[in-house]
A = this chain, B = another copy of it.
Amino acid sequence: MAVQAPTAPADVYAEVQHFYARQMRDLDSGEAETWAGTFTEDGAFKPPSLPEPVRGRPALTEGARQAAAGLAAAGETHRHYVGMLTVTPADDGSLTAESLVSIVAVPRGGPARLHLVCVCRDVLVREAGELLVRDRVVTRDDRP
């Protein structure tokens, strides 16, 4: 068997779990600016739908606002579930966090449905004690 890369200790793991719970709650609540503030100033987010990453908090805020407006117009709420999380410390002090993310769509009046599943690979760094995303790459299983 291959030797596994060491994983983050329990306190860091719990901190990262809290980080995602709050970050996704901000996103799903339409708190676009708060959500963008969980990235570094020049943080990059490469979603599967775009050829290039969205970079920097103003662009991230704008993207989240547009997504929230689209959902509001459609009368839907999205809920992101992060699961199957691994957190691996790198030599430079950053953390690589890999997870599965399920998005559940809830139309007003129901029923809820599984919208899509994606793989999220983040590089997290700590600034002034807070974890922030420096780089996020999201991929989907249903797209080439």
Give chain A's interface residues, CB within 8 Å of chain B. 1-2, 4, 7-11, 13-15, 17-18, 20-22, 24-25, 34, 37-38, 77, 79-87, 98-100, 102, 104, 106-117, 130, 140-142, 144
Contacts and interface: CB of A to CB of B under 8 A. Distances in A.
Contact of A10 (B10, B22, B84): B10
Given A112-B117, A116-B112, A130-B1, A14 B18 contact: no
A107 B117 CA distance: 11
Central interface residue in A1, A82, A87, A114, by most chain B CB within 10 Å = A1
Nearest to A132: B1
Contact of A110 (B7, B18, B116): B116
A21 B88 CA distance: 12
B117 A106 contact: yes
A71 to B, nearest CB: 11
A20 B102 CA distance: 17
